[in-house]
Amino acid sequence: MSDYQSIITEVDGAVGILTLNKAYRHNAFDEELITEITVGLLELEADENVRAVVLSSTGKSFCAGADLNWMRAAAGYSPEENLRDAHRLAELLSTLNELSKPTIARVQGPAYGGGVGLIAACDIAVGSYDAVFALSEVKLGIVPAVISPYVLAAIGERYSRRYMLTAERFSAAEAYRIGLLHEIVPGDEQLDEAIGEILDSLLGNGPKAQAECKSLIRVVAGQPIDEQTIAETAQRITRVRASSEGQEGLAAFLEKRRPNWLAE
């Protein structure tokens, strides 16, 4: 793995783990952290041994949003520099969202602003009871623009209106209720147990089929069920069913054996 200053990447069997490692700054975004997360994700994406990716953090906070010193410096940026800065975060979120491998956010503490965007861009999110969330940008006179597509997809327009406009903090229970978290658990030990169970389920499935599912969801979400969507979905199942993995999965089921992606 590469030598990073703000993150840790490791591979445990078929699981890639990317850990935000700036606990002393509550894992708040700055240019270095954004760049390293992006590069780390691409590194895990390219590793053929990695089947799923867990996004985690050290310390008490998952991610406190933007680093205050970084924001203070950004206040003096030219329009071109500001745009370039925004594009870096947009690239990170797009990379996370479009990773071909399943992603799980392990949320052990508070997540604010862009930290909520990270969670929303993951496929699955599990948090501890004491995690707290806020879309706090309007308190600073700015907007959660870059994270908005992912947050809207996760919690919908109605809850986005409330929490983007009020900047209220909300609990893990509320995050679960509105769809930001899929599961909430008492503490770190239970967090790891819950994620372990999800990983067991993920690793039992066809890796190429999972990548195809992620692509399918991105294409179909929000689209009307019209002739174009029907044709698109029919073409996709036809192509995947005829693929080597599709043929192997069906054959293994019929022959009552393990598919080759589960071979010892």
The rounded distance, in Å, linking the Cα atoms of 264 and 247 is 20
Catalytic residue among 81, 91, 137, 168: 137
| 174 counts as catalytic | no
Separation CA 31–CA 57 (nearest Å): 17
Query: Which residue type occupies 202?
Result: L
Are 176 and 24 a contacting pair, CB within 8 Å? no
Dihedral over alpha carbons 245, 154, 49, 194 (to 10 degrees): -110
Calculate ∠ Cα 57-100-195, nearest 5°: 40
Distances (CA, A) of 36 to 4, 18, 116, 191, 208: 7, 10, 18, 25, 26
How many CB atoms neighbour CB 109 within 10 A?
A: 22
List the catalytic residues. 137
